[in-house]
Amino acid sequence: MGRPSRAHEVRRLILDGAADIFSRRGYRATSMNEIAAAVGLSKPTLYHYFHNKEEILVRLYEEVMSDAVDDAVEISESVEDPREVLHRLLVYRVRTTCERQSIHKVFFEEEEELPRDLVETVIEQRRRYEDVYRTQVRRFLDDHPDPPDIDVTVFVNSCLGAANWVYKWYRPDGPRTPEQLGREIAFYALHPLG
């Protein structure tokens, strides 16, 4: 695999810069001029890579969902024990959300700004992502000699709520690394499984 192209590097710079600004100022309050200035590009150069602000937002959403689904599937296929799969999924979710806090804040707070046709795609991708969790919980319950009495959907939504909400309160200078925080949240979230 070769080195990323200059165009890929510039797009990455723009997406990361836009996520940071959107997370601080909000999507609507941010202009293309501000994005260009933040990443050290002229406005015409920025428009060479992205036609408008909406295209940047769409790319951010597509990236978050695609990465989340791909990573969840990879983890679920690489580990046999369903409880361990759930543990790894939650640790990964927390760690990724902490490490890419800006983009996740945008993801969770700017959905109403998406074009209508993309909203359905995001919902479908989210469903696919949650299905990975539901499948693992059902596998665990089916294999358990004395399964706990839990509602699978409520359980999964509670786990994901705990994992996703860290974008609101995680501080990089806090007492835990993203990995440590992920392990701790996974421990608490999976406790009902025994």
- pLDDT tens digits for 101-147? 999 999 999 989 998 888 888 889 999 999 999 999 999 999 999 99
Contact 115, 54 (CB under 8 A): yes
pLDDT tens, residue by residue, 29-65: 999 999 999 999 999 999 999 999 999 999 999 999 9
Residue 104 is part of a domain; what is its CATH number? 1.10.357.10
Q: Using CA atoms, how far apart are residues 166 and 94, in angstroms rounded to an integer?
A: 7
How distant, in Å, are the alpha carbons of 4, 54, 58, 154 from that of 21? 24, 14, 15, 34
- What is the Cα–Cα distance from 151 to 192, expressed in whole angstroms? 11
Give CA–CA dist 146/155, Å, rounded: 17
- Cβ partners under 8 Å of residue 154, min gap 6: none
Range of the domain at 189: 55-193
25 belongs to a structural domain: no
The CA distance from 140 to 120, in Å, is 30
pLDDT for the residue 5: 84
User: What pTM did the predictor assign?
Assistant: 0.89
CB-CB contact of 64 with 102 (8 Å): no
| CA–CA gap between residue 179 and residue 184 (Å, rounded) | 9
Q: Give domain status of residue 146, yes or no.
A: yes
Asked if residue 17 belongs to a domain, the reply is: no
What six digits make up the tokens of 173? 């200078």
Phi, psi for 190 (deg, rounded to 5): -90, 0
Please count the structural domains in the chain.
Answer: 1
In a domain, 164, yes or no: yes
